[in-house]
């Protein structure tokens, strides 16, 4: 059967990329507005060079401030989208019988990926942090987020769900996969092997049936 998507409505990282694009547009509009004000001032105050210099400097300062306020968050969202796409590609390449659903937004939070296969049902929360991260010093908010996504999906679908926290780029210091507060923490490079080694819980027919139920439950909940 091969890896299938439960729904094609969303691509991996779609929500995060949209947020990044929205911030870049906001910055572009701020720059255009500042340039427009400078241009209008140039036409209206052609003979007042001192005022023109002051207005130009003010516009330049406004552009710098807007960039400082908006650019970092836009870059974070863009990195997050890239991380989700990277993990999504790993999931799409899983072996036969695995179903993957990306970027699920239900009004109560975003779930990066949902996976259904012979090893069970999983939520996957992706983090795109760089560098070295100690498993003994994980941000508790990451673990709470991943666990909350598992509980949300369980409440919607009635299924037993396992929560994964996957780092797309960071090097995790410690023994991985690690289990913290009901969440499995793992780097993307080990993700495919993790699923392949999962003990078989479900037959092919059960996987298909659960994937169909899950799709329906999510569509009904999203519509509500």
**Domain boundary residue, one of 58, 78, 98:** 78
Taking the C-alpha atoms of residue 133 and residue 137, their distance in angstroms, rounded to an integer, is 7
Q: Report the pLDDT value the prediction gives residue 6, as an integer from 0 to 100.
A: 39
User: CB-based contacts of 74: which residues, under 8 Å, 6+ apart?
Assistant: 20, 23, 24, 27
Token pair in block for residue 223? 């519509």
DSSP 3-state of 168: coil
Taking the C-alpha atoms of residue 67 and residue 110, their distance in angstroms, rounded to an integer, is 27
pLDDT digits (tens, 9 = 90+) for 173-224: 999 999 999 999 999 999 999 999 998 988 889 888 888 877 776 765 555 5
User: Closest by alpha carbon to 117, among 194, 217, 14?
Assistant: 194
Specify whether the CB–CB gap between 87 and 166 falls below 8 A. Answer: yes
Specify whether the CB–CB gap between 14 and 105 falls below 8 A. Answer: no
Domain that holds residue 209: 4-12+79-223
DSSP 3-state of 89: helix
DSSP 3-state of 107: coil
- How large is the angle between the packed helices 204-223 and 140-157, nearest 10 degrees? 100
Q: Report the pLDDT value the prediction gives residue 146, as an integer from 0 to 100.
A: 95
Indicate if 113 and 139 belong to the same structural domain.
yes
Token pair in block for residue 35? 């340039």
Q: What is the pTM of this model?
A: 0.77
**CA 106, 4, 171, 77 torsion-angle sign:** negative
Residue numbers in the chain where pLDDT is lower than 50 = 1-8
Indicate if 165 and 200 belong to the same structural domain.
yes
Indicate if 57 and 91 belong to the same structural domain.
no
Token pair in block for residue 183? 């969440």
b/e per residue 165-175 (b: at least 16 CB within 10 A)? bbbbbbebeee
CA distances for 80 relative to 23, 66, 166, angstroms: 14, 22, 12
Indicate if 39 and 144 belong to the same structural domain.
no
Number of domains into which the chain is organized: 2
Indicate if 65 and 109 belong to the same structural domain.
no
Q: Which residue has the tokens 């987020």?
A: 145
Specify whether the CB–CB gap between 163 and 144 falls below 8 A. Answer: no
Taking the C-alpha atoms of residue 104 and residue 7, their distance in angstroms, rounded to an integer, is 10
Indicate if 142 and 182 belong to the same structural domain.
yes
Indicate if 104 and 69 belong to the same structural domain.
no
Indicate if 116 and 157 belong to the same structural domain.
yes
């Amino acid at each position: 059967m091969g890896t299938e998507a439960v729904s094609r409505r969303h691509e991996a990282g779609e929500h995060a990329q949209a947020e990044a694009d929205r911030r870049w547009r906001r910055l572009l509009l701020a720059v255009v507005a500042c340039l427009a004000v400078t241009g209008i001032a140039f036409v209206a105050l052609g003979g007042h060079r001192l005022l023109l210099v002051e207005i130009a400097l003010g516009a330049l300062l406004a552009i710098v401030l807007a960039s400082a306020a908006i650019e970092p968050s836009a870059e974070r969202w863009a990195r997050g989208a890239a991380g989700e796409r990277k993990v999504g590609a790993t999931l799409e390449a899983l072996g036969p019988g695995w179903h993957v659903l990306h970027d699920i937004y239900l009004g109560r939070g975003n779930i990066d990926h949902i996976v259904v296969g012979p090893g069970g049902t999983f939520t996957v929360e992706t983090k795109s942090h760089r560098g070295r991260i100690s498993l003994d010093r994980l941000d508790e908010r990451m673990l709470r987020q991943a666990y909350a996504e598992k509980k949300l999906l369980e409440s919607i679908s009635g299924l037993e769900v396992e929560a994964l926290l996957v780092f797309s780029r960071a090097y995790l210091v410690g023994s991985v996969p690690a289990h913290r507060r009901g969440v499995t923490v793992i780097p993307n490079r080990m993700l495919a092997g993790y699923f392949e080694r999962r003990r078989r819980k479900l037959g092919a027919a059960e996987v298909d049936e659960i994937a169909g139920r899950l799709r329906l439950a999510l569509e009904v909940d999203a519509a509500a």
